[in-house]
Chain A
């Protein structure tokens, strides 16, 4: 009798941990740091305040990889969240499997979506076979974060809106020279992660290309002047030594080094802004990615997507309409984390707030017409992951001092290696 009661009690206890209420109408799964998650919660609270009957539940996941694992498991089990946020470099994994309900047509049919109110670059990035699958909520790009105090100490002028690769190199040089003075000890000129997404703008600046066709890539090309682009990047650490070497990179992250004043310039996207705002003692601003001829940078964008299995599509699209409206975009923009995809909000004081750094926030908007993007095919994340390992090894490997010709040959040899490693992944996508 006692045993039966214990077992029943245990079952009851487990059941008590079970669902106490019915599943909400719309679940929104997002990824991000605590600040971003808080902004999403504010967004939902604001929506609930306007629509008290609305049932929206936030499912926060920290890192993007865990977010993807959770999404993949949920889709496989047939329990996908109605709405979720995707980066365009991961979007292809879902679009090609036909598990997305195209949000563009669904919202357009209800008069809730007008693509002309948004920047065209992120809008285009979330189209698959001509259909608007997901709707972008931000449109960031790679920019140069620079330390005003270090620039002043090194007697450098602020970067101009049309500054060039040569200007970048000169500034990095002078900062490096400053590091040889007592007050500049330990300062490095420039920092960036040697990853494909960070190096792509260098390759494009030198008129190189990553793939033969952005929409239907069949070949990793890295052709034209791509070796020159890579050669320039390599020279920053090998020849000019303005980038922290491997030991310094592994000992202290660029972000941390920049915040404590040990790095003059840092290449990053908008995601760094809230981190820097949390350090009021740091005097910083942003400059565009330096040009070599025509300006260019790389698109970073996330979007709201809807699962095909969504039952209450009206409730889901209503929420997305709010999130992408002036109020919803303003709430996320205030977090500092995003460059709003909605033109009216991006050009408003909410984003260009003169009281909040960076003073030159307009740089993010000016870059938009010149942004290029990487392919949004299903295999792109795998290609980037493979490439990043090789790129880090190549970037930090120490070479004996060589002439320019030997250097160029080394870059060509590396590109052949890179192509050989990445092409099979691309070939696999064509067999499907």
Chain B
């Protein structure tokens, strides 16, 4: 039986049960991480009962004492907040521009974007490093923020393109007849219609910048500039006898992403429902 038929044949509550099962699968590691972070530091048996000791904040205290985690969280937040507006603006502009070119041009552009997305980061390490070095920007946050000036990632531009091309062309033509410029059409007409996409792109861009490890390793020098993934990495080097510190650090680093998602997902779902104006 095909999966579609199987779903049709299933009772009404089956999709909900399936969704809960999937959610639990994703929540389990997060819950484990959180529970472990409230365990006392030190090595214990791998087969011990989960949450075997009394909960304590000692691992959290030690995690923040061992490495400048608070400062690195602030640094990561600053980098993410600086990168987010240009990422959204340029990805949206790129996506919108793609909707305005010929079908052939779109196919070619999408192909080029997919090709760009498939280039491994390691392949461009040295050319990028040389470029930023010649600009005197190595040892600053700029190389971490700079991808925002190209829309963050080809995938984000593609997401906007896919969303914006669903908007009827007549709407753009009408706006042009009203004398609106391209930027105003994007800002006042198109973006309000694809609000859920903006939320999704924003979340993806935030996660991308927030979790950027290798570029932070390559470009940052001073301990004062370091971002949260580097500190998490440092905590992991404290070895298998200090897992609880690593878990406390992981909770601290993961919390902003989880919070951002929890806060924004309501908009995402609500607007997705409202956004069915086009009937597609």
Contact = CB atoms under 8 A, between A and B. Distances in A.
Interface string A222-260: 000000000000000000000000000001110111011
A57 B125 contact: no
A33 B42 contact: no
Interface in A14-63: 14, 17-19, 23, 27, 32-35, 37, 41, 57-63
A256 B241 contact: yes
Contacts, number: 115
A251 B126 contact: no
A63 B233 contact: yes
Interface stretch (B92-100, B130-138, B150-158): B130-138
Nearest to B220: A59
B239 A74 contact: no
A186 B130 CA distance: 54
B207 interface: no
B218 A69 contact: yes
Contacts of B118: none
Contacts of A63: 233, 237
A122 interface: no
Interface string A280-296: 00000000000000000
A34 B140 contact: no
A260 B44 contact: yes
A275 B46 contact: no
A432 interface: no
A44 to B, nearest CB: 11
Contacts of A275: 238-239, 241
B234 A3 contact: no
A57 B223 CA distance: 9
A278 interface: yes
Contact of B240 (A58, A78, A253): A253
Contact of A262 (B45, B138, B242): B45
B142 interface: yes
B45 A77 contact: no
Interface residues of A, number: 44
Contacts of B233: 62-63, 66
Chief secondary structure at chain A's binding surface: mixed
A1 interface: no
Contacts of A61: 217
B142 A18 contact: yes
Contacts of B243: 256
A340 B123 CA distance: 39
A58 B44 CA distance: 35
A76 B122 CA distance: 13
B129 interface: yes
Nearest to B131: A77
Chief secondary structure at chain B's binding surface: helix
Contacts of B237: 32-34, 62-63
B203 to A, nearest CB: 22
A275 B130 CA distance: 39
B230 A33 contact: no
A348 interface: no
B241 A70 contact: no
Nearest to B223: A60
A153 interface: no
Interface in B228-250: 230, 233-243
B137 A18 contact: yes
A161 to B, nearest CB: 28
B223 A34 contact: no
Interface string B205-224: 00000000010011001110
B202 interface: no
B70 interface: no
B256 interface: no
B139 interface: yes
Contacts of B241: 255-256, 259, 275, 278-279
Interface of A: 3, 10, 13-14, 17-19, 23, 27, 32-35, 37, 41, 57-63, 66, 69-70, 73-74, 76-79, 186, 251-253, 255-257, 259-260, 262, 275, 278-279
29 contacts: A3-B183, A17-B140, A17-B142, A23-B139, A32-B237, A33-B238, A34-B235, A34-B238, A58-B223, A60-B223, A62-B233, A62-B234, A62-B236, A69-B218, A70-B218, A73-B126, A76-B129, A78-B130, A251-B46, A251-B47, A252-B240, A255-B239, A257-B43, A259-B42, A260-B43, A260-B45, A275-B241, A278-B242, A279-B43
Given A79-B138, A255-B240, 15 more contacts: A10-B86, A17-B145, A19-B139, A19-B140, A69-B214, A73-B126, A79-B129, A252-B240, A253-B239, A256-B44, A256-B46, A256-B241, A260-B43, A275-B241, A278-B242
